[in-house]
Chains A and B, each alone.
Chain A
């Protein structure tokens, strides 16, 4: 079974600083995809970034990057130069090739302070 773990308590980060959100996962599949989503207080789910298990490079999308360590089964999200609009809940998700499920972690709360 797939399991996604996000255990950090709520985080406060200073505007313009970087923040790292931890995500570990458990799967027996070799082929899988990892996703990060953002949920602001308004409630919508916004896709941020994707990392494939066979991708050799860490994914980047603007200020978002993914620190992918396959052997440790971790896929940490790094947000650089935090902005006030980054205050939100962030979810890590995974889908394995042989499994139709898309499983989510419990989320990390981030508050950016000026």
Chain B
């Protein structure tokens, strides 16, 4: 199994509080991605990183920020959580080659109440 772990796996938080999700890899892969999965929407890209301190926005980046200070860690922060951010969040890692598959973490179920 690819070395990728997400923490926490489950979290319940209150509206307006900050939340940070962590993605940690041991594969030294260049690319890291954060997605959210909601019924009827598939996987939507929030932010991604193509190197240390190199990040870019995805299609649903509003309300989210990311940081990557080390190759192995990619943090997703909800600055002020809202109920619309209740979702399952997946982190993925991918090697450099175009044909390399992406490996996914187990997902984090976040509930904002």
Question: Which residues on A are within 8 Å of B, measured CB to CB?
Answer: 6, 31-33, 35, 37, 43-45, 47, 50, 52, 91, 93, 95, 97, 100-107
Contact = CB atoms under 8 A, between A and B. Distances in A.
B35 A104 contact: yes
B26 to A, nearest CB: 18
Given A101-B45, A102-B45, A104-B43, A45 B104 contact: yes
Nearest to B107: A43
B106 interface: yes
B56 interface: yes
22 contacts: A33-B98, A35-B102, A37-B104, A43-B106, A43-B107, A44-B107, A45-B104, A50-B99, A50-B101, A52-B98, A91-B42, A93-B43, A97-B98, A101-B58, A102-B31, A102-B48, A102-B92, A104-B42, A104-B45, A105-B42, A106-B40, A106-B41
B7 to A, nearest CB: 16
Contacts of A106: 40-42
Contacts of A102: 31, 33, 45, 48, 92, 94, 102
Interface string B96-113: 001101111011000000
Contacts of A93: 43, 102
Interface of B: 31, 33, 35, 40-45, 48, 50, 56, 58-59, 88, 90, 92, 94, 98-99, 101-104, 106-107
Q: Secondary structure at chain B's binding surface: helix, strand, loop or mixed?
A: strand
A31 B98 contact: yes
A44 B33 CA distance: 16
Contacts of A103: 45, 59
A52 B99 CA distance: 7
A6 B42 contact: yes
B94 to A, nearest CB: 6
A95 B94 CA distance: 11
